[in-house]
Amino acid sequence: MTSPDLATRLFDALIGAAELLTVQLGRELGLYTALRDGPHDPAGLAKAAGIDERYAREWLEQQAAAGFLTVDSGVFTLPPGTAAVLLDEDGADYAGAAAEFALGAALLTPTVIDAFRTGAGVPYSEYRHIRHGIAGFNRPMFTHLLTGEWLPAVPEIDRRLRAQPGAAVLDLGCGMGHSSVAMARAYPAITVRGVDLDEDSITAARRVAAEGGVADRVTFTTGDAAAAGGAYDLITIFEALHDMGDPVGVLRNARDLLTDGGSVLVADERVADEFTAPAGEVERLQYAFSVLHCLPATRAENPVIANGTVLRAPTLLGWARDAGFAEPSVLPVENDFWRFYRLR
């Protein structure tokens, strides 16, 4: 890449990063919500959202300059479809979480710089905005794809989840619980236990289960996935194995917890099998997340393995064999971000 090309790329990235932060302003202050209810001039938005009018005018003009809003005679409007992208957290088009990711990464960058110097980690609990960003990014996939496409793609698993007596499911690294709740809502006979190390995520997950009307069949526990107990017909790990400090130990424990005929289903990053440079856009994004979040968070766990975000298929399959799974396989499930594995 030539110097002018690199300079242009960095300038474009700066515009994008700055605009993402203004999107987060609009989300956190309820500005898009106010505009969803109807067009506003600066005074009207200031009153509706409870903010200062001068700031309202600057933000509205900036959003229109960026192309996120339209403006006519000083009145600003949220274009059709924009609310679905920025506000509808269950919608298939939702992408508002990108703004929270950017904010979370920016806030913790000084701490990550110190970690690079010392070799220490940055505890996951400090990444509050990224925690919400992860949940926000994955929630639409869990809502629309997990039980509509991904689980039915493995007929044996789908049949067991629909059968009586109801299956027991363990959702390791469950985060804020959207995967656990989606499975329980789609399969009325099952019970689900979610386990995650992050106490704040578990607190949020219990609220999600209650709001989803499945708290009687979905429970959440703060704990180490490598030490979970019980017996389960299905164990899932969605985009969490690469963050675990002892992934082989987690998989070995999962194997021991399976009932006869039970399965372990893992989804993790869809990246190339080998390191290549330059890489494609998705892998570039995953490496950036790894530098800023996943590797520092895993290093904070005193890990056996600190893999980082970029979990390649040969590595995951090797971990599975080390954990005692004789024939782990990659499933033919299409997704731009995740690759799917059935370990048994």
* Domains of the chain, start order: 3-86 (1.10.10.10), 153-342 (3.40.50.150)
pLDDT at 1 > cutoff 80: no
Give the model's confidence band at 344: pLDDT under 50 very low, under 70 low, under 90 confident, else very high: confident
Q: What is the pLDDT of residue 21?
A: 97
In the predicted model, what is the mean pLDDT of residues 145-149? 97
Asked if pLDDT for residue 341 goes beyond 90, the answer is yes
Instruction: Give me the phi and psi of 235, to 5 degrees please.
Output: -120, 125
The answer to whether residue 202 scores a pLDDT higher than 90 is: yes
Q: How many CA atoms lie within 13 A of 172 on its CB side?
A: 31
Question: Does residue 49 surpass a pLDDT of 90?
Answer: yes
Q: Look at residue 167 in the predicted model and tell me its pLDDT.
A: 98
Distance (Å, whole) CA 105 – CA 90: 23
State the average pLDDT for the chain.
97
Are 154 and 340 in contact by the 8 Å Cβ rule? The answer is no
If pLDDT is split at 50, 70 and 90, which confidence band does 3 have? confident
Kindly report, residue by residue over 180-200, the tens digit of the pLDDT.
Answer: 999 999 999 999 999 999 999
The residue type found at 342 is R
Residues 232/170, Cβ–Cβ less than 8 Å:
yes
In this prediction, residue 175 has a pLDDT band, given cuts at 50, 70 and 90, of very high
Cβ partners under 8 Å of residue 136, min gap 6: 89, 94, 96, 97, 100
Residue in 166, 176, 92, 164 with CA at minimum distance from that of residue 133: 176
Q: Print the SS3 string covering 209-232.
A: HHHCCCCCCEEEEECCHHHCCCCE
Alpha helices in the chain (DSSP H): 3-28, 31-36, 42-49, 53-66, 82-86, 97-118, 128-141, 155-162, 178-186, 199-211, 247-257, 281-289, 295-299, 313-322
- Find out whether 163 and 232 touch, Cβ atoms under 8 Å: no
179 pLDDT exceeds 90? yes
pLDDT in tens, 209-255: 999 999 999 999 999 999 999 999 999 999 999 999 999 999 999 99
- What pLDDT does residue 184 have? 98
Which pLDDT does position 157 carry in this prediction?
A: 97
Per-residue pLDDT at 2 exceeds 90: no
* pLDDT tier, 40 (very low <50, low <70, confident <90, very high otherwise): very high
Name the token pair of 321.
């064999």
Supply φ then ψ for residue 81, to 5 degrees: 90, -20
Name residue, tokens 């024939």: 327
Confidence tier at 340 by pLDDT (50, 70, 90): very high
Q: What is the DSSP string of 263-312?
A: EEEEEEE---SS--SSPPHHHHHHHHHIIIIIHHHHHTT--S----S---
Residues 55-89: pLDDT tens digits?
Answer: 999 999 999 999 999 999 999 999 999 999 999 99
Task: Inform me whether the pLDDT recorded for 170 exceeds 90.
Answer: yes
Query: pLDDT (tens digit, 9 = 90+) per residue, 260-274?
Result: 999 999 999 999 999
Q: d(Cα 206, Cα 218) in Å, to the nearest integer?
A: 8
So what's the pLDDT on residue 140? 96
Give the per-residue pLDDT at 4: 85
18-36 per-position pLDDT tens digit: 999 999 999 999 999 999 9
Per residue in 280-300, pLDDT (tens digit) is 999 999 999 999 999 999 999
